[in-house]
Structure 1
């Protein structure tokens, strides 16, 4: 099944901030195949009517039409995207009004690009990440793809940034998905995956402990032993003895 098209509108009258957000989002996620930018409220409405974006990040205070005006007119036309409002502390009451108009969330300025991207990805995820198979890690295409990549590359120097890039989401959002879908952090899952494979090698009985450690991605036998004991409750040598495999 092909991944559905998903369109994003960014609206902010500070062009340097707008361009920075656009570049950061393009570089760090593949959730949005189309990103449109507007520097005022009228331009934002033109884009909404013409391109029908799915998600909109809009500043409350913009020239010509405010973020609230944009939402009201788009709602009246029946084409309002799912909206995140950008608001300063002195305009927080506007953010509250936006929530009453149906905005899904708000962000207070100043906010980091990572925070903005994670919020936008979380909104896109139900459409892009969830598959018909249902809940759980196998029901989320991002988590499933990450798990498959980690399994295939566990002997390499795998890290969160590398896997997030392969999956096409930000590191912050992938980390959040692991916690939500798997009940553990990225590193904990990677260690559990590696140790489970190490146990299979031990049952085979043909490799020494240091060879097994290397095969599953640990280049320090002592560190491997420490992680193995943390995951299984036994040292590698004790585990081998218990399954009837000699040193």
Structure 2
């Protein structure tokens, strides 16, 4: 999709305040952006696009809305072979919706409440997309997949996490996903999992009265001794020593 003088946006969100806020933030980031429509639900947007033959480049849509969800809107537009890019706005508990949107070609996502800096980063990525070819678009989608994988890992630390299982969540080949994750983050997938588990364990030790074996189970370790050994390797102290230190303080 070649770069035009202005990149045309449609914004869809059932929260009027958020919808208008995103519109203001987009327009405040330069003259290359244009809002051609703003709607309260997916059906209203779809009807306007078809009735008025709206020409747009980017769709910003909330995932969960009454009447017609953002996911259904994207699916319906894709069925009509519309040429556009989509960015979804989501809550922290909407991973399944984000995952489905990725399958429909969504290039990025923003978490509520929408942060000004994150929106600016998103706009920068969109601008880049309009200056690159299909390979560049594919690369951006992979970067989004990595971020989605990280989010999914954080939500499932208590479970048995394998590279294959994580890769399946973002529809990537396990071997390629592992290599790409390492290239983009500088650490292996399993090193990232371990790091986040240790950080969660430290948080539990400092903020709860959970027993060490309960903490181990809560972050995916059935062997308490192995967990303690790994924790000491990570922080230089056993979990019990951290707990005793916190209690003394």
- TM-score normalised to structure 1 length: 0.48
- TM-score normalised to structure 2 length: 0.47
Larger radius of gyration: 1
